[in-house]
Chains A and B, each alone.
Chain A
Amino acid sequence: MAIASLIPVLLGLMLAPLMLGVINRTKAAFAGRNGQPLLQQYFDLWRLLHKGVVYSRTTTWVFRAGPVVGLAATLSALLLTPLGGVPSMLHFDGDFVLFALLLGVVRFMLIVAALDTGSAFEGMGASREAAFSALVEPALFLALASLAKYAGSLSLTGLYVPLDLAAWAQAGPGFALALITLLGVFVVENARIPVDDPNTHLELTMIHEVMVLDNSGPDFAFVQYTAALKHWIFGALIAGIAIPVRTGNVLLDTIAMVAGIGVLAVAVGVVESIMARLRMHRVPQLIVGAAALAVVALIVVGR
């Protein structure tokens, strides 16, 4: 385990909130505003960590465990995430199953904690989250499977290391489809437009935000940091495919990947500015479409 394998983890820990800042600034630029500072998310986290916590009397330990376990599971998933050609800290055969499982744990804790509050709104958000995530997991697996089929490896790092320009020249169409699928997974997992609007103030239309209405203080900071890390993790998976830079030089590879994630953040901001949220019953269709593309990717790469 070299120093290089620390890079994806440290960068993720440090830059994840910045990604949200970039998204917000892009949206502000589109709306003709100056927008909040790029580092606003860090300030928010700092402020929340210094606040006290308020727990509703109806909640139990489940509600208190939710944010902590969620953050812990996300951090574990971050350890498994390679940054393009830079290998992840931990990698072994089949680690992408563990990766999906950890993300499932994050979601499970979020849902259980939301149900624990006994609020009708949070229960509604939890039910939506559960429904959509059940659909999105096959899409994630199929997209990763198409990469695994090409790479002949079963670890996330093994999937991403051979994805250079030559690989694109050989199986580019398949990778492009897997990329589109992962973009779909990104918007669902991170509750961005067109699946969920993170800025809405109508609980009726929200999915992710509605589940964390009762969290406050450090707990809410954990929830927000978890969300930022999830943005980063999926950003890394997407940039790893989209940017086929595998020079072997750790510094160059890392810069290319971070640039890729930055471009993704800008793209998310642009999409959020020009698109409306889908109606709720159209969302499953979007996810099934994404999964269908992943199946095609698997077929194309496999032949």
Chain B
Amino acid sequence: MDVWLNAIMVLLVFSNLILLGAGRLSMYIRCVAFQGFLLGAFTVLAHISDLTVHVWLLASVGTLLRGIVFPAFLSRLLRDSGVRREVEPYIGYTPSILSGLAMLGAGMWLSVRLPAPAIALPRFVVPVALMLIFVGLFLIVTRRKALSQLLGYLVLENGVYVFGVALVQKTPLLVEMGVLLDVFMAVLVMGVAMFHINREFDHIDTDRLSTLKD
């Protein structure tokens, strides 16, 4: 049981490192979709002792959105924008991977110091949740393309979700669904905004937006 949860956590770390080291945007999307499926499996495994309809509903809707709907939507955006890869991120790929390790280390350091309630899950879960959050922020800050930043936001949200499942075993279904709806709306709105940026300026580099003047 624990070994499977650990395996999921390790795969999450693995996908994070790939996200940090990859340059192709389609790879980013695939990684985030993979994380969506992992989170679905994580939801089921974390509640393995009482598998209610609630858990199944949460896992299936979450997987459907994070693993299928978002990636399909984003792939479409990617195809329309005509951008293929992240060009010259503010922090290069190799330093990014090393920072990813530092983030995992920071997660471990923090998780020991958190006044967290006793949790039944393996101790590796909280550090990975924190790492997901950090990696999401890192992607938002250091990548140029709007699409990568949107994906960074999704990774961040994945981290918050893992964190929530780890610390609060029972969240009301309504709250979870509300969060999912929020994420869905956010992706939709950002996607539409990106579509407009792309149509207006023929690119989705956000750094060039800061030099806009009217």
Q: Are B94 and A288 in contact (CB under 8 A)?
A: yes
For residue A174, which residues in chain B have a CB less than 8 angstroms away from its CB? 10
- Contact residue among B3, B9, B97, B123 (Cβ-Cβ distance under 8 Å from A172): B3
Interface string of B6-19 (1 = CB under 8 A from A): 11011001100100
Chain A positions 277 through 289: 1 when the CB is less than 8 Å from some CB of chain B, otherwise 0: 0000000110011
Chain A residues 149 to 175 lying within 8 A of chain B, measured CB to CB, are 169-174
User: What's the Cα separation between A87 and B137 when bound, in Å?
Assistant: 48
Given A169-B3, A303-B124, check contact A296 B21 (CB 8 Å).
no
- Complex CA–CA separation, A295 to B104 (angstroms): 10
Which positions 72-111 of chain B face chain A at CB distance < 8 Å? 93-94, 97-98, 100-101, 104, 108
A contact residues around B97 at 8 Å (CB): 285, 288-289, 292
Name the distance in Å between B214's Cβ and chain A's nearest Cβ.
Answer: 41
Distance in angstroms between the alpha carbons of A247 and B93 in the assembled complex: 44
Say yes or no: A296 contacts B13, CB within 8 Å: yes
Q: Contacts A169-B3, A292-B97, A299-B104; is A177 near B10 (CB within 8 Å)?
A: yes
Known contacts A288-B98, A292-B100, A292-B101; decide if A300 and B17 are in contact (CB<8 Å): no
Shortest CB–CB separation between residue A289 and chain B, in angstroms? 5
Bound together, the chains give a CA A195 to CA B101 distance in angstroms of: 23
User: Separation in Å of the A68 CB from the closest CB of chain B?
Assistant: 37
Number of A-B contacts (CB under 8 A): 50
Residues of B within 8 A of A295 (CB): 101
Given A296-B104, A299-B104, A285 and B123 touching (CB < 8 A)?
no
Partner of A299 from the list B14, B21, B108 (CB cut-off 8 Å) is: B108
A293 interface residue per 8 A CB criterion: yes
Interface set, chain B 17-34, CB cutoff 8 A to A: 17, 21
| Chain A contact residues: helix, strand, loop or mixed | helix
Question: Are B10 and A289 within 8 A (Cβ)?
Answer: no
Q: Does A176 contact B (CB under 8 A)?
A: yes
**Contact indicator A300/B10 (Cβ below 8 Å):** yes
Contact, CB under 8 Å: B94 / A296:
no
- Most chain B beta carbons < 10 A, residue from A171, A292, A299: A292
Assembly CA distance A288 to B99 (angstroms): 12
A 14-57 to B, binary, CB cutoff 8 A, 1 in contact else 0: 00000000000000000000000000000000000000000000
- B31-51 interface code vs A (CB 8 A; 1 in, 0 out): 000000000000000000000
Question: Chain A's nearest CB lies how many Å from the CB of B104?
Answer: 7
Contacts A288-B94, A303-B124 known; A173 to B6 CB distance under 8 Å? Answer: yes
Instruction: Decide if B94 touches A176 in the complex (CB within 8 Å).
Output: no
Inter-chain CA distance A253–B13, complex, in Å, is 33
- Nearest CB of A to B125, in Å: 11
B3 touches A296 (CB 8 A): no
Instruction: Report which residue of B6, B94, B97, B101 has the largest number of chain A beta carbons within 10 angstroms of its beta carbon.
Output: B94
Knowing A285-B21, A285-B93, the reply to whether A293 touches B14 (Cβ < 8 A) is yes
List residues of chain B with CB within 8 A of the CB of A284: 94
On whether the beta carbons of B98 and A170 are closer than 8 Å, the reply is no
A180, closest chain B residue (CB): B14
Q: How far is the CB of B205 from chain A (nearest CB, A)?
A: 23
B6:A285 contact, CB within 8 angstroms: no
Complex Cα distance, B171 from A61, in Å, reads: 75
Residues of B close to A285: CB separation below 8 A:
21, 93-94, 97
Contact string, A257-301, partner B, CB cutoff 8 A, digits 1/0?
Answer: 000000000000000000000000000110011001101100110
Leading 8 A-B pairs by shortest Cβ distance: A173-B10, A173-B7, A173-B6, A285-B94, A288-B94, A292-B97, A292-B101, A296-B13
Beyond known contacts A292-B17, A292-B101, A299-B124: 11 more, CB 8 A cutoff: A173-B3, A173-B6, A177-B10, A285-B93, A288-B97, A292-B98, A295-B101, A296-B13, A296-B14, A296-B17, A303-B123
Write the residues of chain A forming the contact surface with B, with a CB cutoff of 8 angstroms. 169-174, 176-177, 284-285, 288-289, 292-293, 295-296, 299-300, 303
Query: What are 16 A-B contacts defined by CB distance under 8 Å?
Result: A170-B3, A173-B9, A173-B10, A176-B10, A284-B94, A289-B21, A292-B98, A293-B17, A296-B101, A296-B104, A299-B108, A300-B6, A300-B9, A300-B10, A300-B124, A303-B124
